[in-house]
Each structure stands twice: as structure tokens, then as C-alpha cells.
Amino acid sequence: MPEFLELLPPGQALELMMSQLPAPFLEIETILTEKALHRISGEAVVSREALPAFSRSTVDGYAVRAQDTFGASDALPAYLLLGPETPMGKAPEFSLAGGQASLIHTGGMLPENADAVVMLENTQITGSGELEILRPVGKGENILLPGEDVRVGQEVLPRGTRLGPAEIGVLMALGVTRVVVVKPPKVGILSSGDEVIHPQQDPKPGQVRDINSYSLSALIEQAGGVPVRYGIVPDRWDDLYRTLVKALQDCDGVIITAGSSASTRDLTAEVIQQTGKPGVLVHGVNVRPGKPTILAVCDSKAVIGLPGNPVSALVIARLFVTPLVQRLSGMRARSIQPFVNARLRINLASQAGREDWIPARLIKSGDQYEAEPIFFKSNLIFTLAQADGLIHIPADVTGFSAGDFVQVEFF
């Protein structure tokens, strides 16, 4: 199969592959909310109650009627009588009278008639036991009203939400101790190459340990999938075809990491082409590292052929495998990639029309960061282990100059 006849930009290549995939079939299960970190919600969560359920204080201070504090200042305080202290953990059994204040703690339920809280530091007790108000408060100041955080019937978590610490907190606040989540998709990993051996083995001359199966497994887990490793497949058509067919039967998508030689890449593309329709969609992407990338769909399942070089494989996996896993898990599209702006330490050249991803270290410099590119050969995995992130050079840019600010995207 001819290679690199048309090099597509990564974004266009990904869109082409996704367009050939059907809407994912999402299996769901119900699990304990406390065990749901990083899982994807399988249905929308609608609140059956208001948060907060009652008017409560957001500070330590004194519950008051706001009108009783108007005009108060250091020079001319307002004076209020101290009423009963507001209890924690239960409703106050008294109403606040005019000209009266009640000591209240953060989270306490406001007594009836109170509509604001004066912060503790803006008050003092006189020798006669009266409360001096040194700063006025407006109605609603330093309090939360019922439903101000969450209303009854409000959708608090849409379907397809990745559940982080804040989302877990929201669910627990609403008493949702069990949550419906999507079963994580299975992604098969085939590592091919006659020179590749198991990491436990001692390599002989000409052999290398299998890196990609394990680094890609970690990436798939990080994206929310379940990696299924099919071992090391010899560079033989029948073996690769048989293993690919098995992986496609078992999994929701498959990744093949092949050797770097042109003949090996052609073998991978030929096997994919014979495995299902429509077959190979992209054979070469206009990006560095990772030009010899293969994107395919075999009978409604994605097959991605990654370069054998470990750095190239991981960089390309960020661009194609992570979005695939997110789609298969029903995750809503994520438009924000975590990054930091950093000042480039040296000139960084690039070829016009090609996207580049350059590993970089971040060095703290005062209240800013500096980015130091790590120049590498694509088979040196330690390069990525030393890096804090990747500098993205878009296709319409011919490089950056020392002193320019660049975005360093985190892994």
C-alpha cells in the first residue's frame, strides 16, 4: 500500500476517523459514589432537594437584621443586644427581635427574622455586654439562601461528565451515594516486531524490551479505558491478522504499535485493510514526531497504527488514542487542555505546514516559567520522562524565537 501520498493535519485526520465510527454503545452500571473517581456519568443527575436546604451563615459572626446596622462605623458604632447563641446542627428555637444579634458560626442556620451576618472582626463586646457593630451589612450579606447553590430539579451533572473530586462532593451533598456510570471501554494493544521481547527478559544483541504496550496501557487508563494487551506479535501477516481479528472481537478499539521500517508499516496497513471495511483511512499524518501513523475503521471499530518508537507512539497517542477512548466512554468533548505559558529559552525552528510537538522542561523564574526544549530522537523514552510537557508548534508557524511565550501542554 503506498504510504504518505497525502499527509493530513492531525485535526483533520482525527475528524475523518471519527466520522466513520457509529455512535458508541454505552454499557452502564451502578457503583458506590465514593468509588466513582474519574468514571464517566452514565445518566444526568437531577437534584431532588435544594442546596443549601436552609439559610445559613458563610462566616463566623453575628446574625442580625441588616436594617439595624445601617450607618454603623468605627466612629459611630451601632449597638445591639445579645440574644441566644445560634446552635450548630439544629434549627434555632427562637426568633431574632429588632435591635438584637445572635452569635453564629460558619454553616449555622439563621434564626427567624435574621437576614444578614456581621463578621466577627467587625464587632466587639462592650463592658456592659452590648454588641458594637463597626461596619454595616446589607440584606443577604455573608449568608446563603435556600437553593442558592442548587435548586430542586436542577441538572447538576450532565451525562458524560468525568467525575472528579468536586463532582463526587456534589453527589454526596445531595445524598447520592450510588451513581450510574459508563463501563469503561476496552482497548486492545498489539505490539509487533521480531526484535521486541518481554520486559522481564534480558535483551540479546539486536533486541529491545517492549515499552509501548505498557506506556500505552497507562495512557488508556488515564483516559478512562481498560487496556487489553495481546502480547508481542511476530512480523508475519498471518499472526498479525489472527491477533487483530481476535482483538476486534474482544475490544471496542485496537492499537497496533509496529516497527519503524517501511516494510513493517506496510504490513500493518495491509493487514488492517483486509480485516474490515472501510479499512485504512489515513496513512501518514503531517506531524512530528509520528508521521507514519495509520488511522482505520474496521467494521465500525477504530484501529490505530502507531509508530514503534516510544516517544512518537506516546505523542501520537495523546492526539488520537485519548480522544478515541473519551468518545467510546461517552465523555463530553473536552475543549480545555491544561497548559502553562512559559518564556522560550532558545530559538525553536519548525517546518511550515507541519505540526510539531517538542518535549520541554519548565524552569521557575521569579513569578514566571521558562521553557527549555529537549531535543530528542524518537526512540528515546527517557526524553519524555525528563519533560514536564510538550510545546505545540502549529502548522502555520515556522518556529518561535528565544524570549517568545509558548504554551507547554501537560501530559
| Element containing residue 66 per DSSP (H, E) | none
Nearest to 43 by CA among 184, 223, 179: 179
Closest CA to 83 of 98, 105, 68, 69: 98
* Runs of H (alpha helix) within 199-309: 212-223, 237-250, 262-275
d(C-alpha 145, C-alpha 50), whole Å = 10
The predicted structure's pLDDT at residue 411: 76
> Does this chain's domain 10-24+184-328 share its CATH topology with 28-51+157-182?
no
Q: Please name the fold of domain 28-51+157-182.
A: Molybdopterin biosynthesis moea protein, domain 2 (3.90.105)
Superfamily name and number for 10-24+184-328:
MoaB/Mog-like domain (3.40.980.10)
339-410: CATH class = mainly beta
C-alpha 67/C-alpha 133 separation (Å) is: 12
Amino acid at 114: A
* pLDDT by residue, tens only, the chain of 411 residues: 444 447 889 999 999 999 999 998 899 999 999 999 999 999 999 999 999 999 999 999 999 999 999 999 999 999 999 999 999 999 999 999 999 999 999 999 999 999 999 999 999 999 888 999 999 999 999 999 999 999 999 999 999 999 999 999 999 999 999 999 999 999 999 998 888 889 899 989 988 888 899 999 999 999 999 999 999 998 889 999 999 999 999 999 999 997 545 566 678 999 999 999 999 999 989 998 888 899 999 999 999 999 888 888 988 999 999 999 999 999 986 656 788 999 999 999 888 888 889 889 999 988 899 999 988 655 566 767 888 989 988 888 888 999 999 989 887
> Could you tell me which CATH class the domain 56-144 is placed in?
mainly beta
- Residues 281/18, Cβ–Cβ less than 8 Å: no
Give the C-alpha separation, 53 to 150, whole Å: 9
Give the pLDDT confidence score for residue 378 in this predicted structure.
Answer: 52
Could you tell me the residue ranges of all domains in the chain? 10-24+184-328, 28-51+157-182, 56-144, 339-410
Q: Which residues pair with 370 in a beta bridge?
A: 343, 363
